[in-house]
Amino acid sequence: MKRDSGIYIRVTCAVLLALGVFARTPACAESTADDLLITHGESGRYGGSLVVLERAEPKTLNPVTALDAPSRDVIRRMMADLISINRRTLETEPSVAKSWVVSRDGRQYVLELRRGLRFSDGHPVDAEDILFTFRAYLDEAVHSPQRDLLVIGGQPIGVEKVDATHVRFRLSQPYAAAERIFDSVAILPRHLLEKAWREGKLGDAWSLNTPPAEMAGLGPFQLKEYVPGDKIVLSKNKYYWKVDQKGNRLPYLDQIEFHFVPAEDTQVAQFIAGEADILNRVGARNFDLLSGEARTKDGHLEDAGPGLEYNFLFFNLGQVDAQRFPEIVARQAWFRDVRFRQAISAAVDRDAIVRLVYGGRASALWGHVTPANRVWLNAALPKPAQSIERARRLLQDAGFRWNEDGGLMDASGKPVQFSILVSSSSLERGQMATVIQEDLKKLGIQTQVVSLEFRALLDRVLNSRQYEASILGLVSGDADPNPEMNVWLSSGGSHLWNPSQNQPMTAWEAEIDRLMRQQMTTLDHAHRKQLYDRVQQIAAENLPLICLASPNILVAARKNLGNFQPAVVDHYTLWNAEQLYWRQPAGARAQGAR
Amino acid sequence: MKHFSKQARFAISGLICLHVAVLSAGFLAPYDPTEQNRSSVLRPPSTLHFVHLRPFVAGADGHDYPLRFFITGSKYRWFFGSSSVTHLFGVDQPGRVFLAGTDEFGRDQLSRILWGGQISLATGWLAALLALTLGLGWGLIAGFFGGWRDTVLMRGAELFLALPWLYLLLTVRAFLPLSLSPWITALVMALVIGIIGWPRPARLVRGVVLSAKERDYVYAARGFGASSWHLILKHCLPQTYRLMATQAALLLPQFILAEVTLSFVGLGVGDPAVSWGSLLAPLRQIAVIGSAWWMALPVLAVIWTTWCCSLLEDNWKYTGEAG
């Protein structure tokens, strides 16, 4: 029956396509007769284990509730999504869904699943698993962080089964690049998780202590072992649905071991000692150290160029309790003056930040879209060099004066000084603060750099608002502007300088709100680009975030590792884990290079 | 001084020299410790060349810059308040002399080591003074009066011994305003370190007082009607002087090391202020250890202080000179 209805639907789709009901053609998916996806990398050899270092232990292995990066790094190797964003090209590509069609009004997506799919425990996959997955993610009681992405125009996306291999998604309004939202939704095995969901326990399912036999996914690897405080070992999924050009089923590696090593310097030492095979992210100084390290001659170091991370200085422009923090409220009068922010921006030597903090392996930023994001970057934004004179003029215009010792005073004669919060775990942001401190000294501004534990810092910025200025960084998992909605909408929780506003406090924030909402529902790319260019321009003029620098993606791996192609979007090195292979067998590597 | 052994005299001279150098940091240091020379990042110590006994350094521009004494440079303030622009030595602009190299922002390490000593030594001294004062008072009362007061005071001291100082400091820091001046931060550190550090001297003082109050002359004084406070101040307190001196020599380097540890992990004074601990903080990076050995030079100042204090403590412990 299922087969018949499948044929019926495919025929229906073909007719609808011919009639022009669906405007876009399905994305190209190369697949074999068995619906296996053929990859484009070089064909490798089977066997071997890969040791990857993680900064912390994952908190959970539950893809629905995972928030922290280590959890997502591991889960991503065990699970798969319907449509993926290729980390190298940043384009969407088929994954568990082998193709999809979009209605002309952009409100309906029909996805066709690969046939013959099985979870890593051998259980077959069908459209019911997809329905269950989206029900689980959309269930408010589960508190999935991805839920917001699946609510469009205030309405959760509708999911319905067409047949065993076709699923229809209904959107309440057109949503630009809607297929990109599927990238973060891991397909769940209904046979293993539905019971927990019905009992309201899905959020607690798949903890680190769950036996491997009770977990399954569609990713290239499956859980083999968890050793608390030490490592997580994943073994290959023999039912994985990708093959190489010779038809060999992926992955090549027998297992991936995630070892927990908190400090980057220790990670580098382990890599030099040959105890790790991949460093997913290396600081510029350590990158140079590894480059000159004779013992790592079997190591391959790659500077993949600018990533999507942008670091910025920002001031507290939000509502602050004047009774509790009168000093901060008094200083907000300076911060809210755009000329003050422009003067600070003009005084900051971004090139010095790139040179001193990142050893030249970064790009200076004047806007929040980094040079890595060529599709969305507004190249017309001005990039003025550091100018203390211009900064002084702006401050003068804003009513500031200097005393005989060169100290900057506001109109009421109060000395201009403020503190800059930085995270104690980010060496680079602490160093940026030191550079800025020296630059602002030239304007007669005294600043104090305060190093706080990251969660304490976020609490001050987002909740208590007990801060004056801070340096933070944001990195999007996608080049598209939509994941940044929470940052740029005045009502957004990550609208750092003044989060969760009921009404936009300034006219330029109101305009950004309007433009961001408009671009979200605009299907024409050129028009979207125009709208987002304008957002970048407003942000660069009003400087709620004084953008500083975007570090290059620096990674390291063993030379022997085949198909190693670092990306500029996280996960930088394991995004194609299924294609990684050892060119030489483990024994030969042990005797030779290492 | 003539009553002290040769070893003790050496140690005291060493400590005096160090303190004089640190207090005269503005004069001895050729540059402002916060001044960044962004084109001279992580520069190794400058080599001094001599022509007819006249020292000079080779500039990056190919010119030689003779070392000049009593040269005019950046403005600084002496510890007693007055300001000056005269530095002991330096070279003419655009030359630069970095006798201890530069850090990752091109700041002169020698100037930073000298200035950094002010906060490290002040924190150590303040904390030691606080711990000794509290320990002395607590130990005198507990030891002399004994009974339930002894029990309560000593159990209280043990409670303080159990306090995790790192977390206590974190908690105290969380309740303080963000824009604290470096000296207030140093004071807070000294308070926390001192509050954690007093129970040990208190226990030792108590032991000395327990023994002292049993002496015959104390009984005699009591028989003549001397009050408890008279007995404590006139007969028991002098017995603790030697102990206090050795404890000071022991606690000072210990507390300086505590400051170094706190600043090393980022809980001490932040930029632009500098302490020996914050100077050593970049050594957490494997890249700095491997390529810029001069960044470890502040360790020498810490070792020198610790060594001099240890010599002094050993000497006083075994010879009784301090008493």
pLDDT digits (tens, 9 = 90+) for A360-389: 999 999 999 999 998 999 999 999 999 999
Whether the CB-CB separation of A193 and A132 falls below 8 Å is answered with yes
pLDDT at position B318: 59
Token reading at B131? 């711990």
Q: Has residue A314 got a pLDDT over 90?
A: yes
User: Which of A132-141, A330-339, A472-481 has the least mean pLDDT?
Assistant: A472-481
Of B105, B180, B287, the CB nearest to A288: B287
- B36:A431 CB<8 A: no
pLDDT band at residue A31, thresholds of 50, 70 and 90?
Answer: very low
Provide mean pLDDT across the span B14-22. 95
Q: Has residue A24 got a pLDDT over 80?
A: no
pLDDT at position A296: 63
Cα angle, residue A176 at apex, residues A171 and A177 outer, rounded to 5°? 100
pLDDT at position A376: 94
What count of other Cβ atoms lies within 10 Å of the Cβ of residue A258?
Answer: 23
pLDDT at position B51: 80
Per-residue pLDDT reduced to its tens digit, A469-500: 999 999 887 889 988 888 999 988 889 999 98
Per-residue pLDDT reduced to its tens digit, A69-103: 889 999 999 999 999 999 888 889 999 999 999 99
- The conformation of residue B83, written as its DSSP 8-state character, comes to E
- The conformation of residue A489, written as its DSSP 8-state character, comes to S
Alpha carbon distances (Å) from A127 to A6, A116, A168: 11, 12, 10
**Residues ≥6 apart with Cβ < 8 Å to B81:** none
pLDDT at position B3: 65
Burial class (CB in 10 A: 0-12, 13-18, 19+), B188: middle
pLDDT at position A532: 97
Provide mean pLDDT across the span B158-176. 76
pLDDT at position A587: 57
Round the average pLDDT of chain B to a whole number and report it. 87
Give dist(CA A585, CA A45) in Å, integer: 9
Give dist(CA B104, CA B113) in Å, integer: 15
Chain A residue whose CA is closest to B75: A405
pLDDT band at residue A426, thresholds of 50, 70 and 90?
Answer: confident
Per-residue pLDDT reduced to its tens digit, B236-294: 888 888 889 889 999 999 999 988 888 887 777 877 789 999 999 888 888 888 789 99
Residue corresponding to tokens 């924190």:
B123
Whether the CB-CB separation of B258 and B276 falls below 8 Å is answered with no
Of B179, B290, B291, the CB nearest to A419: B179
Which residues in chain B are contacts of A327 at CB distance < 8 A? 177, 179
pLDDT at position B181: 77
pLDDT band at residue A9, thresholds of 50, 70 and 90?
Answer: very low
A451 touches chain B (CB under 8 A): yes
pLDDT at position B226: 86
Give dist(CA B114, CA B121) in Å, integer: 11
Measured between CA atoms, how close is A415 to chain B, in angstroms? 13
- A448:B290 CB<8 A: no
Token reading at A2? 């299922």
**What ipTM was estimated for this complex?**
0.78
- B286:A289 CB<8 A: yes
B234: Cα within 13 Å, side-chain hemisphere: 11
Token reading at A322? 């004047």
Q: Has residue B319 got a pLDDT over 70?
A: no
Q: Has residue A293 got a pLDDT over 90?
A: no
pLDDT band at residue B120, thresholds of 50, 70 and 90?
Answer: very high
User: Which of A455-464, A468-477, B172-181 has the least mean pLDDT?
Assistant: B172-181
User: Which of A256-260, A548-552, B215-219 has the least mean pLDDT?
Assistant: B215-219
Residue corresponding to tokens 């009974």:
B147
Q: Are strands A469-474 and A49-54 parallel, antiparallel or unpaired?
A: unpaired
Chain B residues at the A interface, defined by Cβ less than 8 Å, are: 34-36, 38, 41, 104-105, 170, 174, 177-180, 266-267, 270-272, 284-288, 290-291
Token reading at B300? 């020498």
| Residue B89, SS3 per DSSP | strand
- pTM value is 0.82
Chain A residue whose CA is closest to B286: A265
A256 bridge partner residues: A50, A234
Of A265, A456, A467, the CB nearest to B285: A265
Which residues in chain B are contacts of A434 at CB distance < 8 A? 105, 271-272
- B105:A356 CB<8 A: yes
Helix (H) or strand (E) holding A142: none
pLDDT at position B215: 87
Residue A31 main-chain phi, psi, to 5 deg: -145, 155
- The conformation of residue B163, written as its DSSP 8-state character, comes to S
What count of other Cβ atoms lies within 10 Å of the Cβ of residue A148?
Answer: 11
Residue A449 main-chain phi, psi, to 5 deg: -95, 125
Residue B117 main-chain phi, psi, to 5 deg: -60, -30
Q: Has residue A25 got a pLDDT over 50?
A: no
pLDDT band at residue B323, thresholds of 50, 70 and 90?
Answer: very low
Which residues in chain A are contacts of B278 at CB distance < 8 A? none
Pseudo-torsion of CA A35, A40, A42, A48, nearest 10°? -50
- B286:A448 CB<8 A: no
Round the average pLDDT of chain A to a whole number and report it. 88
pLDDT band at residue A294, thresholds of 50, 70 and 90?
Answer: low
**Count of residues in chain B:** 323
| Residue A199, SS3 per DSSP | coil
- A435:B36 CB<8 A: yes
Which residues in chain A are contacts of B41 at CB distance < 8 A? 355-356
Per-residue pLDDT reduced to its tens digit, A144-153: 888 878 888 8
Q: Has residue A27 got a pLDDT over 50?
A: no
**Type of residue at A254:** D
Q: Has residue A432 got a pLDDT over 80?
A: yes
Provide mean pLDDT across the span B104-108. 93
Q: Has residue A117 got a pLDDT over 90?
A: yes
Whether the CB-CB separation of B262 and B169 falls below 8 Å is answered with yes
How far is it between the farthest Cα atoms of chain A? Answer: 89
